[in-house]
Amino acid sequence: MSTKPAPTTDLAPDPAPEAAQDPAERHSTVRALLRLWPYVRPVRARLGTAAAIAILASCVGLVIPLVLKWMVDGPVADRDPAGVWLGALYLLLLGLAEALLFGFRRWLVARPLAGVEAGMRADLYRHLQRLPVAFHDRWASGQLLSRGTTDLMLLRMFLAFPLTFLLVNGVTILIGVGIMLVQDWTLGLVILGPAIPVMITCGIFEKKYSAVARRAQDQVGDLTTVVEESVLGIRIIKGFGRHRSQARAFHELSHTLRGTELRKARLLAAIWAVIVTLPEVAIGAALVVGAVQVADGALSAGTLVAFLSTALALRWPVESIGFLLAMSQEAATATDRYFEVMDAEVEADPVAEVEADPVAEARAAEGASRDVRPRGEARLPAAAGGLRFEHVRFRYPDAAPGSTPLLTDIDLHIRPGESMALVGATGSGKTTLTALVPRLHEVTEGRITLDGADIATLSRRELRSMVAVAFEEPTLFSATVGENVLMGAGEGAGEKELDRALAIAQADFAHALPEGTGTQVGEQGLSLSGGQRQRLALARAVVGRPRFLVLDDPLSALDVHTEAAVEAALRQVLADTTALIVAHRPSTVLLADRVALLSEGRIAAVGTHHELLRTNAEYAHLMSGLDGHGDDEGFQGGDGR
């Protein structure tokens, strides 16, 4: 549970929603760790073999005190040098066997556990892609990143060491105590004296350490978010001189994390002090009692040596309980954090989607024949339905029950091959309305149809193969220009489709880059100007010749001359495409056949640009404001590269 302070900075993260859960309400450590079983099951044979080998190695170590007893009571007492050398050889062989067995155990678990970690990370990434946009809106990216890196590393370490050695050490202690009781039961009872206090201490430690471990892992996620956002927003931080406030925010979070880690260290030191001190006192007491018995002739010297050697051999299994429990608690909280994401409900589809198999796709790509279709080629029959909104209402999932919907009773019909501009004041819901078409959000009531088919009856893969989108804030990935653009194309698209899309978007600048369309654009595409990024995003939207096109103010970052050239090329694309275009400039409005005015969550008017100018005062007011704003924006927001 995160208890970080709230630093005064715009980039300070919010804790993950699920992170606020009370630790007492979470699963127990064992129940949490049992959720790892589906991932561990495929490698259970190797892990079981490794555990058996480790137990065997520990038992080999417990044979050494018995050899010492034989040596002391036999060759040493009889002054037999040959017997002493033979005993030394036995000890050497036993030590080598123990070392080789432990080394073999480590080799057995290394590869399969790396595979378990990789599989869990792949499942997490795949699951994140299937979660709705509303989930990603709520969660800080650093929290998700820490779950896919730090938490999975903790789980791998737990499976590699504590999981095995909690069992191994437990078996070793039982066997060792049995050996000591057989040798002398009175000394055995002396050694067992601290057992109950140690168990009580471990129980108290487990409860306290669990809460602190969870808090620390959540704070690592918060700190990761701050670092990530500071790197991505470095231009804003430098531009506004906010490096000191960001440094203070980072310092506050790191100081809080430091305090939590120190709390963990104090708890671990406390249990270690108890676990180390009490057994040492018991061994000292056993030494005194045993020495008295030897002096009285009630106990042989060899038996005392063997007993104390066995007790000393059990020191490590006993002393390791503290940090093994600590690592187990951290693994349990990491498991809880991992499954907080994995348990989040994915976007449901009425049509089962088959997960893509990259290996199978790569092999299929090598074949001589492949069904290649443009991205927008319909699986739906060509019908005269176009894009239709029927009594659509929308309220965000996390909105208060009974609150006013953002969109109310939207009725809108965009005929096949028609382009419609969507105009409205800031905050009227234009971007939200366009996000409903590719089902980035689900409608609360009503329905949206494409050529007569309800989009809720289509799988998202099929729907998004027919609907292309370009957002006002273009997102580019750390890949080449060509790879970024061709993300919007179907299988088999190549240079021809790429060059066509770049030409439509007036993005021929890509050919002049150092490596042409093979140039890496860098993280977020920040090596390019805003206008260049926006044109590449537009090229990505049109490269697949989609049947339906949704554009959210796609030309806002272009200068007036580039905008005019893009609009001229777009008119050719829009002639064969059903398009919904969010417009903030009169020039963009003129691209469309008709205009819809969105006001207070409703479609207030529909008509041509000139009709609405004459008949609708609100539209005329918006256009008069946009005329002046558009001119300024056109010259100030241009592509200056």
Q: Does one domain contain both 338 and 419?
A: no
What are the pLDDT digits (tens) for 401-440?
Answer: 778 888 888 899 998 888 888 998 888 888 889 889 988 8
Answer whether residue 534 is part of any domain: no
Instruction: Give the domain-ending residue among 342, 373, 407.
Output: 342
Answer whether residue 371 is part of any domain: no
Instruction: Give the domain-ending residue among 286, 313, 342.
Output: 342
Domain count, the chain: 2
DSSP letter at 408?
Answer: E
CATH of the domain at 322: 1.20.1560.10
Answer whether residue 21 is part of any domain: yes
CATH of the domain at 551: 3.40.50.300
What are the pLDDT digits (tens) for 544-590?
Answer: 888 888 888 777 666 666 777 777 777 777 777 888 888 877 877 88
pTM above 0.85, yes or no: no
Q: Does one domain contain both 282 and 391?
A: no
Answer whether residue 553 is part of any domain: yes
Q: Does one domain contain both 151 and 31?
A: yes
Q: Does one domain contain both 23 and 158?
A: yes
Answer whether residue 115 is part of any domain: yes
What are the pLDDT digits (tens) for 295-321?
Answer: 888 888 888 888 888 888 888 888 787
Q: Does one domain contain both 420 and 331?
A: no
DSSP assignment of 247-270, as one string?
HHHHHHHHHHHHHHHHHHHHHHHH
Instruction: Give the domain-ending residue among 286, 307, 342.
Output: 342
Mean pLDDT of 89-104: 86
Answer whether residue 641 is part of any domain: no
Backbone CA torsion sign across 310, 316, 321, 322 = positive
Q: Does one domain contain both 315 and 396?
A: no
Average pLDDT over the chain reads 78
In this model, does residue 472 exceed pLDDT 70? yes
- The pLDDT of residue 240 is 67
Q: Does one domain contain both 557 and 471?
A: yes
Q: Does one domain contain both 310 and 424?
A: no
- The pLDDT of residue 157 is 86
Burial 530-564 (b: 16+ CB within 10 A, else e): bbbbbbbbbbbbbbbbbbbbbbbbbbbbbbbebbe
Q: Does one domain contain both 326 and 454?
A: no
Structural domain boundaries, residue 76: 17-342
Answer whether residue 483 is part of any domain: no
DSSP, collapsed to helix, strand or coil, labels residue 584 as coil
- The pLDDT of residue 413 is 92
- The pLDDT of residue 389 is 92
In this model, does residue 38 exceed pLDDT 70? yes
pLDDT > 70 fraction of the chain, expressed in percent and rounded = 83
In which band, very low, low, confident or very high, does the pLDDT at 441 lie, cut at 50, 70 and 90? confident
Q: Does one domain contain both 79 and 191?
A: yes
Mean pLDDT of 243-248: 79
pLDDT > 90 fraction of the chain, expressed in percent and rounded = 3
Answer whether residue 353 is part of any domain: no
What are the pLDDT digits (tens) for 51-92?
Answer: 888 888 888 888 888 888 788 777 777 777 887 888 788 888
Q: Does one domain contain both 234 and 295?
A: yes
- The pLDDT of residue 597 is 92
In this model, does residue 378 exceed pLDDT 50? no
Q: Does one domain contain both 315 and 403?
A: no
Cβ–Cβ under 8 Å, residues 520 and 480: yes
Helix, strand, coil % (nearest 5) of the chain? Answer: 65, 10, 25
